[in-house]
Structure 1
Amino acid sequence: MNGVHERLHAALRAELPTAHLLRRELHAEPCVSGKEEPTLRRVLEALPEGAALEQVAGTGALLRVGGDGPAVGVRGELDALPIAERTGVSWAARNGAMHACGHDVHLAALVALTRAVDRVGAPAPMVAVLQPREETHPSGALDIIESGALDRLQVGAMVAAHVQPVLGAGETACTSGAVNASADEFTLTIRGQSGHAAYPQFSRDPVLAVAQVIVAAQQLVSRNSDPMTPTVVTFGTVTAGTAPNVTPADAVVRGTLRTMSETWRGQLHERLRVIADGIARAHGCEAEVLISRGEPVLVNDARLAEETAYLLARLTGPELDTEYGHHAPATLRSCGADDFARYTSVVPSLMMFVGVDTSSGLHTPEFLPDDEAVTAVAESLLAAYLAAAHVIGGTGVP
Structure 2
Amino acid sequence: MSVSGEEAMALGELAERWTEGIDAALPAAVALRHELHANPDVSGQEEPTARRVMAALGGLDAETVAGTGRLVRLGPPGPSIGLRAELDALPVAELTGSPFASTVRTPPAMHACGHDVHLAGLFAVLQAARRLKLPLGLIGLLQPREEVGPTGAADVVAGDHLVHHQVRALVAAHVQPQVPAGRVASDAGPVNAAVDEIEIVVSGRGGHGAYPHLAVDPVPALCRIVLALSETARSTVNPLHASVVSITQISGSAAPNVIPGTAAAAGTIRLMHETDRPLLHERLARTVTSIAEAHGCTGKYEVRRGEPALVNDATLAGLTRGWLDEFRVPTASFASCGSDDFATYGSQVPILMQFVGTGYDHASGPMLHDPSFLPGDEVVRQVAVALLAGWLGAASVTSPSS
TM-score (normalizing by structure 1)? 0.94
**Are the equivalent residues in 1 in contact too, given 2:89–2:113 (CA < 8 A)?**
yes
Q: Is residue 85 from structure 1 mapped to residue 85 from structure 2 by the alignment? A: no
Q: Which residue of 2 aligns with 1:354?
A: 356
Q: Which residue of 2 aligns with 1:26?
A: 36
Q: Is residue 366 from structure 1 mapped to residue 372 from structure 2 by the alignment? A: yes
Q: Please give the alpha-carbon distance, in whole angstroms, between the structure 1 residues aligned to 2:77 and 2:207.
A: 72
Q: Secondary structure at the match of 2:153?
A: helix
Q: Secondary structure at the match of 2:396?
A: helix
Q: Secondary structure at the match of 1:49?
A: coil
Single out whichever of 120-129 and 363-372 deviates more from structure 2: 120-129
Amino acid at match of 2:72: L
Q: Please give the alpha-carbon distance, in whole angstroms, between the structure 2 residues aligned to 1:194 and 1:111.
A: 58
How far does residue 48 in structure 1 lie from its aligned partner after superposition?
5.3
Amino acid at match of 1:36: E
How far does residue 50 in structure 1 lie from its aligned partner after superposition?
4.4
Q: Please give the alpha-carbon distance, in whole angstroms, between the structure 1 residues aligned to 2:344 and 2:220.
A: 39
**Are the equivalent residues in 2 in contact too, given 1:156–1:348 (CA < 8 A)?**
yes
> What do you get for the CA RMSD once the two structures are aligned?
1.4
Percent sequence identity over matched residues? 48
Q: Secondary structure at the match of 1:244?
A: coil
**Are the equivalent residues in 2 in contact too, given 1:237–1:253 (CA < 8 A)?**
yes
**Are the equivalent residues in 1 in contact too, given 2:37–2:100 (CA < 8 A)?**
yes
Which residue among 241, 252, 261 is the counterpart of 1:240?
A: 252
Q: Please give the alpha-carbon distance, in whole angstroms, between the structure 1 residues aligned to 2:224 and 2:30.
A: 52
**How many residue pairs end up in the alignment?**
384
Q: Please give the alpha-carbon distance, in whole angstroms, between the structure 1 residues aligned to 2:357 and 2:294.
A: 49
Q: Is residue 107 from structure 1 mapped to residue 109 from structure 2 by the alignment? A: no
Which residue among 25, 41, 46 is the counterpart of 1:36?
A: 46
Q: Which residue of 2 aligns with 1:333?
A: 335
Which residue among 337, 341, 344 is the counterpart of 1:342?
A: 344
Q: Secondary structure at the match of 1:75?
A: strand
How far does residue 150 in structure 1 lie from its aligned partner after superposition?
1.4
How far does residue 60 in structure 1 lie from its aligned partner after superposition?
0.5
Can you give the 5+ residue segments of structure 2 that lack an aligned partner in the other structure?
A: 1-8
- Correspondences of 1:196-235 after superposition (within 5 Å): 196-235=208-247
**Are the equivalent residues in 1 in contact too, given 2:233–2:280 (CA < 8 A)?**
no
Can you give the 5+ residue segments of structure 1 that lack an aligned partner in the other structure?
A: 318-326
Q: Please give the alpha-carbon distance, in whole angstroms, between the structure 2 residues aligned to 1:204 and 1:367.
A: 46
**Are the equivalent residues in 2 in contact too, given 1:157–1:392 (CA < 8 A)?**
no
Change (3 A) 1:110 1:50: closer
Q: Please give the alpha-carbon distance, in whole angstroms, between the structure 1 residues aligned to 2:272 and 2:320.
A: 23
Which residue among 83, 86, 91 is the counterpart of 1:74?
A: 83
Change (3 A) 1:181 1:289: same
Single out whichever of 215-224 and 57-66 deviates more from structure 2: 215-224
Q: Which residue of 2 aligns with 1:56?
A: 65
Amino acid at match of 2:371: P
Q: Secondary structure at the match of 1:221?
A: helix
Q: Please give the alpha-carbon distance, in whole angstroms, between the structure 2 residues aligned to 1:191 and 1:149.
A: 46
Which residue among 163, 172, 175 is the counterpart of 1:163?
A: 175
Q: Secondary structure at the match of 2:168?
A: strand
Which residue among 178, 192, 195 is the counterpart of 2:207?
A: 195
Measured against aligned partners, the alpha-carbon deviations of 1:317-373 in whole angstroms (never above 9, x if no partner) come to 2xxxxxxxxx22211110000000011111011000000145321101111111001
How far does residue 289 in structure 1 lie from its aligned partner after superposition?
1.3
